[in-house]
Structure formats: structure tokens, C-alpha cells
Amino acid sequence: MEDKIYWVAVNLVKGIGAVRLRALLDYFGDLKTAWNAPADALMQAGLSEKVSARLVEVRSTKDLQKMAEWIEKHDIQVFTWNDENYPAILKEIDQPPPVLYVRGKILPEDNRAVAVVGTRKVTAYGRQVTEEIIHHLVQNGFTVVSGLARGVDGIAHQAALQDGGRTLAVLGCGVEQVYPAEHMKLAEQIIGSGALISDYAPGTKPDAANFPPRNRIISGLSQVTIVIEAGETSGALITATFAVEQGRDVMSVPGSIYAPQCKGTNRLISQGAFPYTGPASLENLLNLSPKKRQSAQQKVKPENEIEAGLVQVMSTSQSMHIDELVAASGLGIEKISAALTMMELRGLVNHEGGMVYSLREPGELYVTEPDE
């Protein structure tokens, strides 16, 4: 932490971002020397007089030893460009954040991630599609990235955890804080199966101005950004814009042309975003081969005779209404409904809406060994 505390300290100075921090490193060789340099030397390194004076002012008010102790006390990890465990996929974007603050763990497999974002005012349709997408991503070994906000973000994190997957939450405040407060329990669960991440220094309060910039990290951590529902001025559209600028793919869920929360997503599709039309469209975008799907899904099997019977019935048709399943199986609707709910949660079946169900991957879900 001795060297990293100077990254933290410089990161506190307003006006020093990735470009200016790189200039300080190039000129001084390390940030400890830059932090202790006189104002004229800072200006020679490329800082303006105003920013140089600001660094000197911040330096006079900060006790770095106490800062380091406070960060360690709150179990906050500090990752810099120089760290091997700084997310490789984030390093690929233009001007990645020099410092990341993390609670939890970022693993190498998290470079295989997809962002799922959307409106805070999510509809039942939006919730259903979000959960369907998350189930499919987790089954195929993808980490889910979102922003811990109300609505789609929270649903995405929760669905990933319920499916036993990993999820990363990018915050617009210090990682020792949780916003909104009602997601405190969810945040603790994320720390256990992923991480809370921020480029804002510990102690930074959640402010409206902080959230649009952090969306750049959400998309930067992800191979693909999926927008579920978004109004015309939704922050999720900002994330999609960042993704395009970073050379990443964007997928959007189509919706009613009359629904306010679908105006943004429909516009994205008209502008060239990939439309989400079901799991197959996601597989195509992520280039998931049958072999990869089999490997990821080989453990998803019927757990009892009722589920096995439903699988047998449903394998004869692309999709079936629940009434057809009741008639074909001879079982009561209560048993069928309960079984379908559990099968959907485990990714065995897909609920297409209107009480119509289909097998997720007919002919591929029940292999016992993946192909070599």
C-alpha cells in the first residue's frame, strides 16, 4: 500500500485524470515524487497553474498514513494500471481509470463479462427479459456487470447471484458506501460473489454528476452491453454510447412503440444495436458454439419424474402453452406450474410470455459429457 497511497492521493486532486496522471508518471517516474514536487515542477510536467496549486493544497490537508489505515480497515483494495489484477478488458479502452477501488474480488474470468443495464422503472416484461438474459449468461460462464441502481440493475445482480454466477457492481460513490440504501444487503452478497468497484475515492458521496461518468467503466468491463428498457433520457443510453465509443457491441431489447420505457431501446435498434429476440440471438452475438453451450449446460437436467415428463412432452414442439402441457401430461395445473417455475429458474425452460414455455436448448441440455 506504500506506493499505491500516492496513486490514491493524486487521484483526489480534481483535474487530474488519466492523461495528466500519465504525464506526471512520464515526467517524475513515480507518483511519490510527483506528490512531493513543488508547484513549478508540476507545471513543467504539464499541469496547469490552477491544477498544480490544487495538488499542493490537497497535499497540505491529507495525512497519507491515516488514509492508508482507513482504506485497509474497510477492506478496500486499490488497483492501479501497474497491477496484474487490474481488469485486462478495462485496460483496452481509451484512457482507462488510473485507480480502481474494490470491495470483493475481481478474478481473471471476469474479463468474460456482459453489462446488463436499464431503467429504474422496470415493467413486468423488463423484469422477465432481464432474468431470462441473466440465466443464460450465467449458464454460459459470463460475469454480469451493472450499476446497483434500482430497477433493471438490481434485478440483474440478484438474478446472477440466485443462479450462482458472478456479478460486478460499478458505483458512483466510494465503495464503502451503498446507494441506494435499500441495496445494502444485495451489495454484501455481491462482495461475496464478485465485487463493488469505483474509480471514486473512498469517502465520495453519491452525487447525480458521478453516475454518467461511471457508466464508462460498466461498458469498459464488458464485451457486450445489453439495454433492457430505457426511456429517451435514460442513463442506460449513456452506457450504450460509451460501449460504441469503446468498440464494444450493444444489444437492445425491443418493446412497444407506445411505451415510454421502450423509446430508448427501440431507438438503439434503429441506430444499429443488435435486437434481443431470445437466447439464440444472444448466443449468436457472443459467438457461443454448440460445444461451449454443452460444456456450460451439461449439469442442467430434470430433477424429478414430473420435470422429466415435461421435457419429453416439450421436446416434440418448439413452444407449448401451459394448458397443452396439462392435457399432454395428465397432471394438475398446480403441479405443472410449480415444476415450470423451478425449471425456468435453473435455465431448463424458457418462459416466452402468455404462459407459453419452450425448452432452452432442445437436444443439447442433457449431455453427460462435453465433446472433446
Same domain, 114 and 66: no
Whether residues 305 and 174 fall in one domain: no
341: domain CATH number? 1.10.10.10
- Same domain for 26 and 153, yes or no, is no
- Count of Cβ atoms closer than 10 Å to residue 366 Cβ: 19
- Alpha carbon distances (Å) from 203 to 175, 178, 186, 197, 259: 8, 11, 20, 14, 39
Flag whether 312 is in a domain.
Answer: yes
Query: Per residue in 151-165, pLDDT tens?
Result: 999 999 999 999 999
Q: How confident is the prediction for the chain on average, in pLDDT?
A: 88
CATH code for the domain in which residue 275 is found: 3.40.50.450
Which tens digits make up the pLDDT trace of 227-285?
Answer: 999 998 888 999 999 999 999 999 999 999 999 999 999 999 999 999 999 988 998 99
pTM: 0.76
Using one digit for the tens of pLDDT, what is the confidence trace for 202-213? 888 988 888 889
Segment 137-150 shows an average pLDDT of 95
Same domain (yes/no): 276, 304: no
Q: Does 368 have pLDDT greater than 60?
A: no
Domain total in the chain: 3
CATH classification at residue 56: 1.10.150
Residues 134 and 261 in one domain: yes
* Segment 158-191, tens digit of pLDDT: 999 999 999 999 999 999 989 899 999 999 999 9
What pLDDT does 65 receive?
92
Helices 333-345 and 322-329, interaxial angle, to 10°?
A: 120
Q: Are residues 13 and 146 located together in one domain of the fold? A: no
Same domain, 145 and 279: yes
What the block records as the C-alpha cell of 98 is: 488510473
Same domain, yes or no, for 272 and 320?
Answer: no
**More confident site: 219 or 202:** 219
* Residues 241, 117 within the same domain: yes
Q: Give residue 353's domain range.
A: 297-359
pLDDT over threshold 70, residue 332? yes
